[in-house]
Structure 1
């Protein structure tokens, strides 16, 4: 069981690691607002005359493509991209939970795609330091129009793209609904039935969870409810209560310290352990690597609290279909002894798109022109579908979904291909954008409230991104699985390993692997670069 949980926590860590640039889990809902609405229906763009060069691009496989639509390599939208863009694109899917491992394997074998993207800036920096990707400043200047101007207009994105003084990736600005990432949901009808209030502290959260476990909130007379379930964001949600994240660096009295070595991290482990020991989380999550069991428990009405994303369209819709009387409420972050931290939030930059170092210049030119096209017009259809089929415009700027089920089946997965976007939203647009049937409007109103709740409290992030030194990346790559194994023993081992003993082992491993020297290098890096490390989502 410990080995299985170790693998599970590695998957959770991969989902929660973002190197201060976001993994995230990223919101799947295409709720946003364009600075200018491009011509966006699939028939609107004209392909360039003559043969087009082929480029390959990575894509996260989230298992969202319905069988009748095809797969991530071949579906209606990959065909549309090839018909309308200046390139023929071969998409290379990598499993979302193991994306970095898969990409690294492809790179090592010489079969990596031409364009490689990730949310994790640390990973992109690692590839740069390994020589797997190449600087692209000169190519953007030489071949780009739209993207070049866009980056000039958004200088706040430059630090995320710059590694060792050179541009190694391009990105676009996140919309507000993707700045917000994590979310917690609670069954309001269960609270009402048991005459409970929404928890505001970790102690109250535990007490509510106990009531959900013991007092039959679904009223079926059986002991079959699970207080808390979660998706891949669970680690971020729980750690944030204690103002820490295992993959972030923090300024402690002016000194950079790694999140996994802090006293606060011990308290985060103790909280996780208490949930496990008291059966307040589903213990079968150990083998639930794709979180389908957790999702099933939630959508069938057996779970009371969901550590997940603020935007949960499908999960809410399926729950309401199965349990029409269910009432949901977004749950604000709860306070620990350190105060109230915000739920995890991303920085301004979205995915970071890097160029394989093996790409010849003619392919690079094609890739740059493809990115120009995607940023200028292509992204819109990837997010909203075909005009008058999947959406209509309201107030000349807000795309309103026509049929939620049709969008879910035919468009939702295409978000994966919109690697650059100019969309930005307002919370009040969410009900306008949703389909107008009663259920879709109920979900939209819940989401609008959830977005406000997710951004209500500031999330602690002391520096904009982590040190991009090879020594740091190498140490963390070695340290992460070792510390995860220790954390498994703490969480599942009962009295065999206390959080205090676990932290002692974690710190000993950090020191053994050269952590003290890496901290010194990281501090030197910080002093040299601090003017570029201001946290901003503007």
Structure 2
């Protein structure tokens, strides 16, 4: 498979800046002294001689209800305005009203200079309307910003051969983890598995050899699930499929200059055969068919009757450990292990989440503002000295230096203090998605697992950024058929001897070739296929 090198960071999460006045025009005023944030790294002033007014439309904040302080109280804003010599005016729309608000501004000719967009569809739509600037000619002036995000994140910012945005914020990957009962391994004198076959034997032993010692056959080797739409992804079975280099339900890769539909790839049949073998051996908790929310899977983790699961690494944290004691009467020795290395050399936990969010710049902003805005984004995303001021909050309140290292102290704050400074959440979008300190893990093993998991996060697959064909009337039905059939194969309701029939049905009933032609054209446009 053609893989693009993954550069960690990884990320989901907080974004935004304070909601202030409405958008402004392309005004320039004589240079004025910036507001010095005492002790902050930007207080030395800006390299830009003239002040610009920059308007920002930020619909990505995770706390739009948080109060916005005055400029005198807003340390982050002072730092940013001083460093960039700008007057920053930001709009944060109310939840659920972002699109309406943005379209109203655009219709009125009051287009924001800097616009946060949540989806690639929005990005393409506004570019098609001629609203967004082509950033391609400017990017070589900002090498640190280019290095800050991985190649596949930048690929998501391209449209019709142009770079039309900067990645919005890091998505978070590597939190989902492969859990195993280490106390059961010790009890049964077993080693941590490293291959699919070893994993199967461990799961079989967990099912058949009474690892909890209660004299009852009431334990299982594995449990996964699927969401309420019947999709297997992110509920555990997908990690088993990744052992064979495939992923449900509609993942698309590129090999030998051609699209590879992983849901029809022969390796998918191998993955389904493996899971069906687990089902036949009864090592899978039969409740898997009802596991359609993360909370239900957590309950299985807390009860401690399953030996292998895919759960959030934060289940090693003290509050989750307490839940285990309350629900199961004990705190099992759960450990997080690397994903199995499959027959083709794949060792994958998950793919990097597609970079759907972005910062776009209005074509109306003009050259000077484009350069100033890109400078501002480079400053926010790459300046190590200011990083804790934006990622964590106010120095002395949200973080402090301990033995020369930044220590995030948010968990130690009282509710009163957290509420008083809730507005700092508007500034956290520069935080790195692989920053264990940002997440304030209390158990060192959680932070260790999160950090170790990063090496098993593979680049985003080429097909992640594809858009549906509006003329494909069979799209929804085809997806439903794929999901349902994969589940039937792995559960044994449909014999795997019918694999060729499944492929033939996709070709004849669901226009697989037409679908393939559509995605091939997009992959060519995006440069994955020459």
With the shorter chain as reference, the TM-score category is: 0.5 to 0.7
After TM superposition, list the pairs within 5 Å mapping 1:58-69 onto structure 2. Answer: 58=60
Q: Which 10-residue stretch deviates more, 502-511 or 181-190?
A: 502-511
* Secondary structure, counterpart of 2:118 in structure 1: strand
Distance 1:160 1:215 in 2: 49
Structure 1 residue runs of 5 or longer lacking an equivalent are: 1-18, 31-38, 61-71, 95-101, 119-123
Q: Which entry has the higher C-alpha Rg, 1 or 2?
A: 2
* Secondary structure, counterpart of 1:138 in structure 2: coil
Is it true that 1:74 corresponds to 2:65 in the alignment? yes
Q: Is the 8 A contact 1:136 1:355 kept in 2?
A: no
Distance 1:227 1:388, change over 3 A: farther
After TM superposition, list the pairs within 5 Å mapping 1:333-352 onto structure 2. Answer: 333-346=339-352, 350=355, 352=357
Distance 2:70 2:296 in 1: 34
1:216-260 Cα deviation digits (max 9, x unpaired): 434455555453345835243122111112443334454322111
Distance 1:158 1:467, change over 3 A: closer
Q: Is the 8 A contact 2:236 2:310 kept in 1?
A: yes
Q: Which residue in the other structure is 2:192 paired with?
A: 198
Using the TM superposition, give the Cα deviation of residue 148 of structure 1 relative to its aligned residue in structure 2, in angstroms. 6.3
Cα RMSD after superposing both structures: 5.6
Q: Which residue in the other structure is 1:320 paired with?
A: 321
Structure 2 residue runs of 5 or longer lacking an equivalent are: 16-35, 44-52, 78-87, 107-114, 226-233
Q: Which residue in the other structure is 1:421 paired with?
A: 430
In the superposition, the TM-score normalised over structure 1's length comes to 0.62
Q: Which residue in the other structure is 1:384 paired with?
A: 392
1:99-146 Cα deviation digits (max 9, x unpaired): xxx99xx79xx899974325xxxxx2x45566697666527699x99x
After TM superposition, list the pairs within 5 Å mapping 1:128-527 onto structure 2. Answer: 138=133, 151-152=145-146, 156=151, 158-171=154-167, 174=170, 178=172, 180=174, 182-220=176-214, 224-230=218-224, 232-246=234-248, 247-276=250-279, 278-309=281-312, 312-321=313-322, 322-323=324-325, 326-346=332-352, 350=355, 352-353=357-358, 375=381, 380=388, 383-396=391-404, 398-402=405-409, 404=411, 420-421=429-430, 423=432, 440=442, 443-445=443-445, 447-449=447-449, 451-452=451-452, 454-455=454-455, 459=458, 464=462, 468=466, 471=469, 479-492=478-491, 494-495=492-493, 497-501=494-498, 504-520=501-517, 522-523=519-520
Bigger fraction of residues in helix: 1
Distance 1:195 1:165, change over 3 A: same
Distance 1:240 1:52, change over 3 A: same
In the superposition, the TM-score normalised over structure 2's length comes to 0.63
Distance 1:418 1:243, change over 3 A: farther
Distance 1:466 1:28, change over 3 A: closer
* Secondary structure, counterpart of 2:307 in structure 1: strand
Q: Is the 8 A contact 2:166 2:360 kept in 1?
A: no
Q: Is the 8 A contact 2:223 2:285 kept in 1?
A: yes
* Secondary structure, counterpart of 2:348 in structure 1: coil
Using the TM superposition, give the Cα deviation of residue 195 of structure 1 relative to its aligned residue in structure 2, in angstroms. 1.3
Using the TM superposition, give the Cα deviation of residue 498 of structure 1 relative to its aligned residue in structure 2, in angstroms. 1.8
Q: Is the 8 A contact 2:258 2:529 kept in 1?
A: no
Distance 2:70 2:315 in 1: 25
Q: Is the 8 A contact 2:117 2:123 kept in 1?
A: no
* Secondary structure, counterpart of 1:227 in structure 2: strand
1:43-84 Cα deviation digits (max 9, x unpaired): 9999xxxx9978451568xxxxxxxxxxx54247x7799966
Distance 1:140 1:44, change over 3 A: same
Distance 1:164 1:378, change over 3 A: farther
Using the TM superposition, give the Cα deviation of residue 335 of structure 1 relative to its aligned residue in structure 2, in angstroms. 3.6
